[in-house]
Structure 1
Amino acid sequence: MALKEKQAAALSGELLIPMAAAIGAALSGRTDEQVAEQFDVSLQFAAWRMNEPFQRGHRSGDDLGARNGQGSRAVG
């Protein structure tokens, strides 16, 4: 993915589901369905935002660690 595309994806993600909200929801055990409904986004988009901070090498997720020990949170 080109740099501009990555930047656009990051910005749109932040506008629709702020990273702090995604992290808080994931750590509190909220399901993808609950987050999708709360933010009025697709289930796929909610799942992407909920998992993004926990992917290996993601800047904001480095200090969080993986919730399931494999580099991503367990999907609800």
Structure 2
Amino acid sequence: MSTVPPKELVRLWSQEQITVEMAVGHIMQNLAKLQDAIDAQRQMLHGALEVQRQMLAEIQGDIDSTRGQIKERRKTRMHIP
């Protein structure tokens, strides 16, 4: 069963081409379709956020490693006669 857009539902109902019960049924279908779309977007966003967090952790690790290497090189240079 396909959904009927809200504006079309209002038009059909106001012209008495569908009953209140039919309109409510279509409204429920539209709500279910919207909820499915929201849930899919939420999952996608959570997945993207997790990828970003992992990338940030890797970058932070690289920064920390580079800082350590710089400190070691500075120590080495100071001890060269």
| TM-score for both structures, normalised by structure 2 | 0.30
Higher relative contact order (CA 8 A, sep 6+): 1
Highest CA radius of gyration, 1 or 2?
2
| More helix by percentage | 2
| TM-score for both structures, normalised by structure 1 | 0.32
